[in-house]
Amino acid sequence: MNLADLNTVAQAMVVPGKGILAADESSGTIAKRFDVIGVTSTEESRRDYREMLFRASDAMTKYISGVILYDETIWQNARDGTPLVKLIEQAGAIPGIKVDEGTQPLPGCPGELVTVGLDKLAERLKKYYAQGARFAKWRAVIDINAAGGIPSMTAIGVNAHALGRYAALCQAAQIVPIVEPEVLMDGDHDIERCFDVTSRVLNVTFQELRKQRVALEGMILKPNMAIAGKKSTKKASVEEVAEKTVRMLKACVPAAVPGIAFLSGGQSDEEATAHLDAMNRIGNLPWKLTFSYGRALQSAPQKAWSGKAENVVAGQRALTHRAQMNSLATKGEWKADLEKKAA
C-alpha cells in the first residue's frame, strides 16, 4: 500500500468546489427510475443515459471530482467506441466503482440487513484497478425505528466489520475506499433519534476500521446527515440539521479522514444542497465536506432527458445546474434565490 498516493486521490475527491456523482444504481434500481420517465431499461438505454451525464463537459470538468460506477458501466463503451471510463478521465474526474453486492436478511435480527460481497473481492479489485477505478464504494444499510430496538448492536457490528474488511482490501489494492454506513431516513424517527443511532454506528465503524488497520488518511466517509425520518411529524430546520450533523461528526470522525461526502438519502434536490451549504457555513472543520449524491444530482437530468436523443443537451444542462448548486454548497456560497432564478 502506498498511502501517499491513496491520500492524493482522496484529497482530489473532496477538493472544495467539487463532489462525487453517484451513478452506481443497480440495473433493478435504474429500471425503477426509468419507469418514472417512461424509458425501457436496457443495456443500451442505460449506456446512453450515463454517456449523456459523462459528456456534460461543464458539469464534469468544473464541479465533479469523481464518478461511482456500477459493474456494468465500468466495462461499457460510448456509442463512438470510447470507454466510458475514458470519458470520465478526459473530463479530469476520477472513476470509481461500487463493489458491494447488495443486502441479505440478517439471521436472528428480523427486519435487519447485512451487506454482502466480500467473497473474491480482492480479485475483483485488481480487475477494477486495471480498468481505471481509483476508488470504490461499499454501502451498509442500517434501518432505524422511533421506538428503539432497531438497529440492533448485532446489525451495527456485523455491517461495521464488513465495512472494515472491505476498506482494508481496497487499500491493499491501491484503491481509496468510500465507507458508507447509511442510517435510513425512511421511518418516523425524529432528528434526536437519528443523531443517537448514527453516532453509535459511526463509533463502531471507526473501531472496526482501526482494528483492521485501515489508514484513515486514505479513505473517504459517506454518511447520512442527522435528519428526521420522512414520516416524522417533527421536522428539523436546515440550521438544526447542519448543527447536529457537524456536532455528531466532530464527536465521531477522526480529523485524519480527508473528507466526508454526504449521501442525499431521499432528500429533495434543494434540501440536500441547503443542508450541505449550512454545514460549510459553520466553518472551522477538520475535514472537507462535500457531496456524493445520486438522486439529488440525477433526478432533474433524468426528467429533462426522458430517453430522447433530442433532449441530451437539456439533460446535460440540468445536471450542470444541480452540480453547480452543490459546488457552491461545498464552499458555503449557495443561496436559495439561485434555484429560483434557474426555475
Known catalytic residues are 180, 222
**To 5 degrees, how large is the angle CA 122–CA 258–CA 94?**
55
Q: What is the rounded CA–CA span in Å between residue 165 and residue 170?
A: 9
Q: What is the rounded CA–CA span in Å between residue 276 and residue 289?
A: 8
Q: Which residues contact 121 (CB under 8 A, 6 or more apart)?
A: 99, 166, 169
Q: What is the rounded CA–CA span in Å between residue 303 and residue 321?
A: 14
3-state DSSP: the chain helix, strand, coil percent, rounded to 5?
Answer: 50, 15, 35
The two most distant CA atoms of the chain are separated, in Å, by 54
107 backbone dihedrals φ, ψ, rounded to 5°:
-55, 135
Cis peptide before 151 (omega within 30 of 0): yes
The answer to whether 259 and 290 are in contact (CB under 8 A) is: yes
241, 321, 234, 250: which is closest to 286 by C-alpha? Answer: 250
Element spanning 113, H or E: strand 113-115
